[in-house]
Amino acid sequence: MTGPTGRARQAVRHAVDASMTLLNEVMERPLDAGYAEAAQRRAAGEATTVKPGVKALAAGIAIVLGLAAGAAVAALRAPNPDASRAARTLIEDAETRQREVAELGDENRELTRQVEALEHEVLAKVDPEAARQASLIGIAAGAAAVRGPGLSVTMSEDPDAVEAEGEIARIRAADIQVVVNGLWRSGAEAVAVNGVRLTTTSPISAAGQAIHVDLTPVAPPYRIDAIGDGQVLEIKLARTDGGARIALLRNEFSARIDLSVRSDIELPAAGGRGSLYYAKQPESAQVLVPEEGSIP
Amino acid sequence: MIALIGLAIGVVVGLLIHPTVPPELAPYLPIAVVAALDALAGAARAVLDGLFDDRVFVVSFLSNVVVASFIVFLGDQLGVGTQLSTAVVVVLGIRIFSNVAAIRRRLFKA
């Protein structure tokens, strides 16, 4: 045989990838050397009989190791406890605050009702005519809780349509605005959206996906209650932009919109934020009337 | 063989009863699991080669897990925790691949 001997060839080969010895070691001998040594010992007839104690110990340690591995896997698969704890805390916080808001709102309404009753009582003693007028104004201004016959419009999105068309098929603040305006135009005397009474200054606004009525968030289904002659309201509403919008939402976006004439609707007083706006007669300013003959 | 059965029982029990892992150990869990997988792949190959030995398996499993975790711990103390974790994962990953490849060759002759 010519050429380098086997040993020399091996030396050359090793020299070529000498820098890879570590990787070679890992890749070519991945099996723990202990297994081979144990096999060798067995072959040599050394310790052919394993003591039962050793076997039991190995089994015991294996169970413990398995337990630890299982626990580790379970712990790694579990959702991050910190994140879920934080989320839970935030949710609890939000729920507590919502309850507080609801309680304070109830208290506020109750106090407003008492104030109204007392005002009415006092005014009725002093000036019955003014008291009568005040309650009429209270209805128009939304300051008084009212009841009477009327019309309810319930609007909700078709979930399938929302799924298919995304944002387009949602009911928007503008839709509610148009319907509410249609109701006012049709002669509604008092209007509320999901129990939030509207006054002349109540905004219906969009905040992202949420709809706010008088700064209170409302959720679908949206129910618009209007007090008036229900049948007349329904007929007149159909001729307004509100009616057209209802038809559009129904036909194009398969929104579920129900109109029902009801004999008794009860609406709360408006939010009672109590900001009073005063109108004042101008005192200093006078209308400039050009003097006779001063015009050149 | 008894060690493998014991390990299987332990894993099932561990997955079922969800023992709580001390939070101080949490950073070492992923590496420990990879090391355990390496020991398991080695054991599978040894079984196929007819070289399996309970004592060697238990000792290699334990030392693999402990050494891997210790390297990560050391890395954390030295400020190179991520790099050392990567190194351990690379080495163990290569070993797992090689052992599984050997098992595949033996089983499928391909």
What are the tens digits of pLDDT across the range B29-69? Answer: 888 888 888 888 888 888 888 888 888 888 888 888 888 88
Is residue A62 less than 8 Å (CB to CB) from chain B? yes
Reference B63, options A37, A32, A76, A67; nearest CA is A32
Min Cα–Cα distance to chain A from B74, Å: 20
Backbone conformation region of residue A187, classed left if phi is above 0, alpha if psi is from -120 to 50, else beta: left
The answer to whether residues A148 and A207 touch, using CB atoms and an 8 Å cutoff, is no
Type of residue numbered A255: A
A23, A31, A68: residue with CB nearest B14: A68
- Write the pLDDT tens digit of every residue in A137-195: 888 888 778 889 999 999 988 877 777 777 777 888 889 999 999 999 999 999 999 88
The Cα–Cα gap between B40 and B89 comes to 15
Angstrom distance (rounded) from CA B12 to CA A36: 30
User: pLDDT at position A93, please?
Assistant: 93
Q: CB contact, 8 Å: A47 with chain B?
A: no
Selection from B48, B86, B50, B41 nearest residue B68 by Cα: B86
Find chain A residues with C-beta within 8 A of B99's C-beta.
Answer: 30-31
Is B53 close to A30, i.e. CB distance below 8 A?
A: no
**Optimal mutation site among B9, B51, B106, interface A, most CBs of chain A within 10 A:** B51
Task: For chain B, say whether A203 makes contact (Cβ under 8 Å).
Answer: no
CA-CA distance, B10 to B30, in Å (whole number)? 18
Q: Structure tokens of B34?
A: 């990879």
The reply to whether A20 touches chain B by the CB within 8 Å rule is no
Eight-state DSSP code of residue A229:
-
Q: What is the pLDDT of residue A2?
A: 44
**Which structural domains are found in chain A, ordered by start?**
95-141 (no CATH), 147-272 (3.30.70.1880)
- Chain B hits for A28, CB-CB cut-off 8 Å, are 98
Contact criterion met (CB < 8 Å) for A70 and B54: no
The label of the residue with tokens 């919502």 reads: A98
Instruction: Look at B10 and A63 and tell me if their CB atoms are within 8 Å.
Output: yes
In this structure, which amino acid lies at residue A173? Answer: A
- Enumerate the domain spans of chain B: 2-108
Nearest CA in chain A to B12: A70
Confidence of residue A3 (pLDDT cuts 50, 70, 90): very low
Closest residue to A61, CB basis, from B4, B30, B58: B58
The more confident residue out of A95 and A47 is A95
* Chain B partners within 8 Å of A21 (Cβ): none
ipTM summary value:
0.72
Nearest to B33 by CA among A60, A71, A58, A23: A71
Is the preceding omega at residue A221 within 30 degrees of 0, hence cis? yes
Q: What is the mean pLDDT of chain A?
A: 80
A224: closest CA among A250, A204, A248, A254? A204
Kindly report, residue by residue over A18-49, the tens digit of the pLDDT.
666 767 776 676 677 778 777 787 777 765 56
Give the pLDDT confidence score for residue A96 in this predicted structure. Answer: 93
